[in-house]
A and B are shown apart, each in its own frame.
Chain A
Amino acid sequence: MTTAIIDYGSGNLRSAAKAFERATAEAGLPGPIHVTSSAEVVAAADRIVLPGVGAFGNCRAGLGALPGMWDALEDAVIHKGRPFLGICVGMQLMADRGLEHGGADGFGWIAGEVRPLDPSCSQLKVPHMGWNDLQVNGEGQADDAVHPVLAEISPGDHVYFVHSFGFVCAHAKHRLAHVDYGGPVSAVIGRDNMIGTQFHPEKSQAVGLKFIENFLRWRP
């Protein structure tokens, strides 16, 4: 089982790669982790991870600059249904549109917009930076209500955020978990074979590694 982490010049991928390697080893899962800018490697991968830090438009442009990458992604995720994880801006890119720096189109995979955080309480700082506790949708309901990638993530588990823009889903069912920051902020979104986190699992210590392991085991 190969996992491709897409390198499109958006910041450091070392910690993401190391976190995936650690989670793979600890769970006894097979398969290498490839950090790659090659569309061919992405096309051949069993799982795809799109990290991302910085501005929405820059990330979109950086991804678009890789030859064949956009087609490879669309084919693997939309047509072949391979499991996909977007992290931070990598998650935001799944939206129809991002409003940062004048705006740019996203993939349009999950209906919604990426808008500036606007906490109802003016004393709250932006960026939303630090550890916040996840409210997982479906928690306490029937067993199958919780998304498998969020399995064993307990109420009150903390994960690490650093962002100034948030994913506003057009359909509530696509928001799988949120945190409270002057109102609900999307923490995990997803549908079918795709999932995205606003937080950084690779920086969220044990809870983050558990999330990564869940993603690597996920069979949507």
Chain B
Amino acid sequence: MLKARVIPCLDVKDGRVVKGINFVDLRDAGDPVEQARIYDAAGADELCFLDITASSDNRDTIFDVVRRTAEQCFMPLTVGGGVRSVDNVRDLLLSGADKVAINTAAVHRPELVREAAEKFGSQCIVIAVDAKSTGPGRWEVFTHGGREPTGIDAVAWARKMETLGAGEILLTSMDRDGTRQGFDIPATQTIADALSIPVIASGGVGNLDHLVAGIRKGHASAVLAASIFHFGEHTIGDAKAHMAAAGIPVRL
């Protein structure tokens, strides 16, 4: 049986981890590779790097991070942030990413999704959808890290991305991100039920029950979280044990 996935996400800026695990025994808490190794050893099902490097001068730093991670961690790795072109996708895949997440560039030019999926396969194209509630049962797509509204309906957008060849949707609730109040369950469930490709729930996890709700009520195939893991409140093992106890199939 396929298992629900637990995916820790690390924010990386200029090649260094911005929000990450803060353990005392880390030699270099800012090194993304070291953090990746901890999550690998802890049994994370996948790992996600979000590159938030602002300056274009330092954009290449992510390639080195991905390269070094792929040399040491034999687990699936998704990289997102600042992906603008088919060439960007190729560079990340050649560095060792297994999947590449695209957000803003897909809104600017949806054909990019088709081109990338045809060239590299749908399995490696993740569309990151940042959604904000605009009323009951309605959500709008935002870009630029949640700053720019687009006027695009998130459910219709996710469907369109699936049609163009996306292999997976990473759905982040802009209303819940950073609040620790749990996923936006109605948004997650509506989009997961509307698609035949997997949806990763993201944004708002504050406790382990939220992970259970994302799968059970939100119908997500995977749950992504950052701070509950980074600050040592919970381990990947805690999260999976809790989900298993709630009857969700996980890889223990």
Contacts and interface: CB of A to CB of B under 8 A. Distances in A.
Interface string B39-55: 01001010000000000
Interface residues of A, number: 36
Contact of B2 (A12, A22, A181, A200): A181
A112 to B, nearest CB: 21
Contacts of B1: 132-133, 179-181
B71 A205 contact: no
Interface in A82-131: 124-131
A3 interface: no
Contacts of A179: 1-2
Nearest to A212: B74
B62 interface: no
B154 interface: no
A203 B73 CA distance: 8
A67 interface: no
A163 B5 contact: no
Given A53-B124, A131-B251, A14 B2 contact: no
A127 B74 contact: no
B82 interface: no
B45 A131 contact: yes
A138 to B, nearest CB: 21
Nearest to A15: B70
Given A18-B70, A129-B221, A205-B40, A11 B2 contact: no
A164 B251 CA distance: 21
B196 interface: yes
A18 B71 contact: yes
A161 B118 CA distance: 20
Given A132-B2, A205-B75, A11 B124 contact: yes
Given A126-B197, A181-B1, 8 more contacts: A14-B96, A15-B98, A125-B221, A129-B2, A129-B167, A130-B5, A205-B40, A208-B74
Contacts of B122: 127, 164
Interface in B182-232: 195-198, 221-222
A187 to B, nearest CB: 12
A172 B72 CA distance: 37
B249 to A, nearest CB: 9
B123 interface: yes
A5 interface: no
B97 A12 contact: yes
B75 A53 contact: no
Contacts of A22: 74
B175 to A, nearest CB: 25
Nearest 4 pairs between A and B by C-beta?
A54-B121, A131-B251, A162-B123, A158-B251
5 contacts: A55-B118, A125-B197, A130-B4, A130-B5, A131-B5
B232 to A, nearest CB: 22
Interface of A: 11-12, 14-15, 18-19, 22, 53-55, 124-133, 158, 160-164, 179-181, 200, 202-205, 208-209
A202 B72 CA distance: 11
A55 B168 CA distance: 17
Contacts, number: 108
A127 B4 CA distance: 14
Contacts of B74: 15, 18-19, 22, 202-205, 208-209
B97 to A, nearest CB: 7
Contacts of A205: 40, 43, 74-75
Nearest to A52: B121
Nearest to A126: B196
B93 interface: yes
Contact of A132 (B3, B97, B168, B198): B3
Nearest to A17: B71
Nearest to A162: B123
B214 to A, nearest CB: 15
B76 A53 contact: no
A14 B198 contact: no
Nearest to A12: B93
Interface string B220-252: 011000000000000000000000000000010
A90 B2 CA distance: 22
B76 A128 contact: no
Contacts of B97: 12
A53 to B, nearest CB: 5
Contacts of A53: 120-121, 123-124
